[in-house]
Amino acid sequence: MLFNSFEFIFGFLPAALLGFFLISRYANRSLAIGYLSIASMFFYAWWNAWYLLLLLAEIVFNFLIGRQLARDGLSPVRRLLLATFGVATMLAVLGYFKYANFLLGVLDQLSGTSWSAGAILLPLGISFHTFQQIAYLVDSYRRKAPRYRFDEYCLFVTFFPQLIAGPIVHHNEIMPQLQSQSLLRMRPLNLAVGLAIFSAGLFKKTVIADSLAQVASPIFNAAGHGAVLTTSEAWSAAVAYSLQLYFDFSAYSDMAVGLARMFNLRLPANFNSPYQATSIAEFWRRWHMTLSRFLRDYLYIPLGGNRRGRARQLANLMITMLLGGLWHGAGWTFVLWGGLHGLYLAIHRVWSRVVPAPRCDAEARARCFLGWAVTMLAVIVAWVFFRAADLPTALGMLRSMAGLQDRAAGSFDDLVHREKLLLVGTGLIAVLMPNVMQIFGRYRPATFPYAARDWFAALRPLQWRPNLWFALCTGAVAGCGVTAILGWQSEFLYFQF
């Protein structure tokens, strides 16, 4: 079930809200949490009911392992073995569904065999809830996870706003909220703030991201079938996809934050205007923030982080980003995408030791602009590998972007010319405008703090308030978002991960 569908907006969501708060008022906490868990499972099963059984099996397995790790009296060796068994089992399940055929394909190329695991349908959201539960197991081993009730843990994993495409929620962020009495009381302000944020995300998805897809998809698809592109066509497709991915994934993240707020819960934000970053390190502090946090806390730091010398630090960066790329998909294009970002971060780390980062004041604006331009160029080039169906397609796109292709027919010149205003307008929004979390900043919509920009003080009229003017604006945005569903409906890009 898609957030951008009539079934969800006019059917599932009202039923989930009304049922939860009615049970909270007239029954008890356990029944209310149970109802929301069952509703979330129904939401997941709408796509494939059989994979709900897999999700439930993982929840029970991890809960029991976590309970055992929380016991007193277990020897350190047994605790380590139990935690290793739990994490390895979760990774094995993820590996089978996501990487079995990829790894067998690599083995076939090396050995000349023809192994295959058959057609494997990837369960929705498996990468997200697997990492979420691995963090719980590791923290249980470290004795940083209190004992939770099963119904609370079940809702922590299955809560429908973040189940399919994140954000990757940490247990210590959501569990205290589930245990709070304020969870059970309907709050009109939370409903208003949540609905407004959801509407903004819906608009970003159906009006902006899906419009950008009409530019990026046909050109990338043509390149995948061997078409030779002109330089302007290749750059237009790369920029369109970069913006489509930003608005698509940030739309889902905003909608998740808005939906959770309707239920009196705050999820972590995933985006902080990443296309405004002036370095690649800043980009990763702003893009997919919960994944960056997980990779830092549960991979980069355990590998040694920056504590074992410069060479080891650079190697740790590369390993982390390679695995981060592989997390996104089982293919060499994703491995190369992660490797490129690992290389970018390594170069930035070496460069920052030689040349200190400029302060973005009046004297350093030129350097900041140059840093932003280099960062965006690097990010857009890497997105080509992320989007391309295979390596030849990506390399062909890059050759066209570099002006090295000849005999290009210019088949998409009319499309590029017609949508030029769309690319420029959405690019300016991503680079210059405040983001949704900043617009709603006075109501602290997410658990990650957003640093206020000096120039944003001059744009206080853009900050949302519960009054008639913003009610009309929210209604108009929601109306446009819902109307756009009639013309084009698509899954969120991160559903494939």
- Domains in the chain, number: 2
pLDDT at 361: 60
User: pLDDT tens across 221-263, in order?
Assistant: 999 988 888 899 999 999 999 999 999 999 999 999 999 999 9
Residues in the chain: 497
- Same-domain pairing of 270 and 172: no
Domain final residue, candidates 152, 169, 187: 187
In a domain, 138, yes or no: yes
In a domain, 249, yes or no: yes
| C-alpha span between 154 and 36 (Å, rounded) | 10
- Same-domain pairing of 150 and 214: no
User: pLDDT tens across 160-172, in order?
Assistant: 999 988 799 999 9
In a domain, 22, yes or no: yes
Q: Give the number of other Cβ atoms within 10 Å of residue 405's Cβ.
A: 18
Domain final residue, candidates 187, 214, 243: 187
Which parts of the chain register pLDDT below 50? 451-455
First to last CA, the chain: 16
Question: What is the identity of the amino acid at 154?
Answer: C
Compute CA distances 383 → 99, 294, 319, whole Å. Answer: 21, 21, 19
Would you say 69 and 76 are in contact if contact means Cβ atoms under 8 Å apart?
Answer: no
Question: What is the identity of the amino acid at 70?
Answer: A
| C-alpha span between 324 and 292 (Å, rounded) | 9
In a domain, 453, yes or no: yes
Would you say 385 and 340 are in contact if contact means Cβ atoms under 8 Å apart?
Answer: yes
Q: Is 328 a catalytic residue?
A: yes
Q: State what percent of residues in the chain have pLDDT above 90.
A: 59
In a domain, 154, yes or no: yes
- Neighbour-count burial for 231-241, b at 16+ CB within 10 Å, e otherwise: ebbbbbbbbbb
- Same-domain pairing of 120 and 237: no
pLDDT at 168: 92
Residue in 292, 63, 69 with CA at minimum distance from that of residue 156: 63
Find the domain containing 322 and state its range. Answer: 190-496
DSSP 81-149: HHHHHHHHHHHHHHHHHHHHHHHHHHHHHHH---------PPPTTHHHHHHHHHHHHHHHHTT-S----
| C-alpha span between 461 and 457 (Å, rounded) | 9
pLDDT at 367: 80
Question: Residues 171, 328, 341, 348: which is the catalytic one?
Answer: 328
Task: Supply the pTM of this predicted model.
Answer: 0.92
- Same-domain pairing of 68 and 199: no
Would you say 389 and 355 are in contact if contact means Cβ atoms under 8 Å apart?
Answer: no
User: pLDDT tens across 106-139, in order?
Assistant: 787 777 777 776 777 888 889 999 999 999 999 9
- Same-domain pairing of 158 and 195: no
| C-alpha span between 91 and 280 (Å, rounded) | 29
| C-alpha span between 174 and 177 (Å, rounded) | 5
| C-alpha span between 125 and 327 (Å, rounded) | 12
- Same-domain pairing of 233 and 177: no
3-state secondary structure of 168: coil
- Same-domain pairing of 85 and 215: no
In a domain, 1, yes or no: no
Report residue 473 as tokens. 């604006």
Question: Angle between the 150-158 and 49-69 helix axes, to the nearest 10 degrees?
Answer: 130
CB half-sphere exposure, 346, CA atoms < 13 A: 19
| C-alpha span between 290 and 277 (Å, rounded) | 17
- Same-domain pairing of 145 and 225: no
Domain final residue, candidates 172, 187, 202: 187
User: pLDDT tens across 457-488, in order?
Assistant: 556 677 888 888 888 999 999 999 999 888 77
pLDDT at 452: 45
In a domain, 141, yes or no: yes
pLDDT at 359: 61
- Same-domain pairing of 146 and 220: no
- Same-domain pairing of 166 and 215: no
- Same-domain pairing of 297 and 403: yes
- In the numeric block, the tokens 């009304």 are attached to 18
Long-range contacts of the stretch 230-233 (C-beta < 8 A, 24+): 230/400, 230/405, 230/408, 230/410, 230/413, 231/400, 231/401, 231/402, 231/403, 231/405, 232/413, 232/416, 233/400, 233/408, 233/410, 233/411, 233/412, 233/413, 233/416
In a domain, 37, yes or no: yes
- Same-domain pairing of 419 and 460: yes
